[in-house]
Chains A and B, each alone.
Chain A
Amino acid sequence: MNRSLAVAFNALGLCAIALVLAAAFAAQLLLGELPCPLCLLQRIQFALLAIGPVLNVRFGPRPSHYAASLLVAAAGAAFAMRQIVLHIMPGDPGFGSALFGYHYYTWAFIGFAAAIVLIAVMLLFDRQFEDDSVHPVAVGAFARTGAWLVIGLTALNVISTLLECGFAACPDDPVAYELLRRLR
């Protein structure tokens, strides 16, 4: 796999992360399911997962960029597993609704596990690292779109979380947008 193909795959990864963030927003806005603190932490990890692809697109593929995303994916998988274990007792309905039989945190664990595998697969191809310069490179429209989608959706999450939690700690089981409720 040469450098340009690796950058294309990284751009695809950015679009996949943007899709996950958009799906989380859709569940929040259309289904009215407000994310709990652990759910927010997993969403933050999905956004932070984009650090590797953004750096790879901007400065060219480097093992350290993949390693950064690998650390985030491992942390995200641990956070999601914690929430799965919290609801593992028989009879526990879980938090929020299920999508295709799994709750969002189970899907998050599957997503982070898939990210770990995919990053490991990308690291198998040494030819992408032959040019070891780390100067900014020309970025294509596809990669630019993916990067800005992730940045935009993360910025929207800043506003959404501020509305949900207000200026206090986020409630364990949020049922309303705290800041909007206080302003009324």
Chain B
Amino acid sequence: MACLESRTTMEFTALFLAVTIVMLAAWWGSRTLALALFAVTLVACVATYLHHASAVLKLSF
């Protein structure tokens, strides 16, 4: 459980930071680098979504 928690720590801060780096790479760096960083970031976003989507929902009826 501790391992799971440490894996999800600061995930959204890290994703925003990754997007900022992607944008800076697209503006200042090479096109190939920007597209590669973009692909990694998009995969990380989808993985984060799937992690949250598979979490147990606390519903009450």
- Interface residues, chain A, with chain B CB atoms under 8 Å away: 37-38, 40-41, 44-45, 47-48, 50-51, 54-55, 58-59, 64, 68, 71-72, 75, 78-79, 82, 86, 134, 147, 150-151, 154-155, 157-158, 161-162, 165, 167-170
Q: Give A33 Cβ to nearest chain B Cβ, in Å.
A: 16
Indicate if the CB atoms of B27 and A161 lie closer than 8 Å: no
| B 19-45 to A, binary, CB cutoff 8 A, 1 in contact else 0 | 110111011000100110010011001
Q: Chain A residues near B27 (CB, 8 Å)?
A: 54, 58, 147, 151
Q: Chain B residues near A169 (CB, 8 Å)?
A: 5, 8-11
With contacts defined as CB atoms under 8 Å apart, how many contacts are there between chain A and chain B in the complex?
Answer: 96
The CA-CA distance from A79 to B49 in the complex, in Å, is: 7
Q: A71-B42, A75-B42, A75-B46 are in contact. Are A155 and B9 (CB under 8 A)?
A: no
Q: A44-B45, A64-B35 are in contact. Are A161 and B20 (CB under 8 A)?
A: no
Indicate if the CB atoms of A47 and B9 lie closer than 8 Å: no
Q: A48-B41, A82-B53 are in contact. Are A151 and B13 (CB under 8 A)?
A: no
Q: Chain B contact residues: over half helix, strand or loop, or mixed?
A: helix
Q: Chain B residues near A170 (CB, 8 Å)?
A: 11-12
Indicate if the CB atoms of B9 and A51 lie closer than 8 Å: no
- Interface residues, chain B, with chain A CB atoms under 8 Å away: 5, 8-13, 15-17, 19-20, 22-24, 26-27, 31, 34-35, 38, 41-42, 45-46, 48-49, 52-53, 57
**Sample of 16 more A-B contacts, CB < 8 Å, known A44-B12, A47-B19:** A40-B15, A41-B15, A45-B45, A48-B38, A48-B45, A50-B23, A51-B22, A51-B23, A51-B38, A54-B23, A58-B27, A82-B49, A134-B31, A154-B19, A158-B16, A168-B5
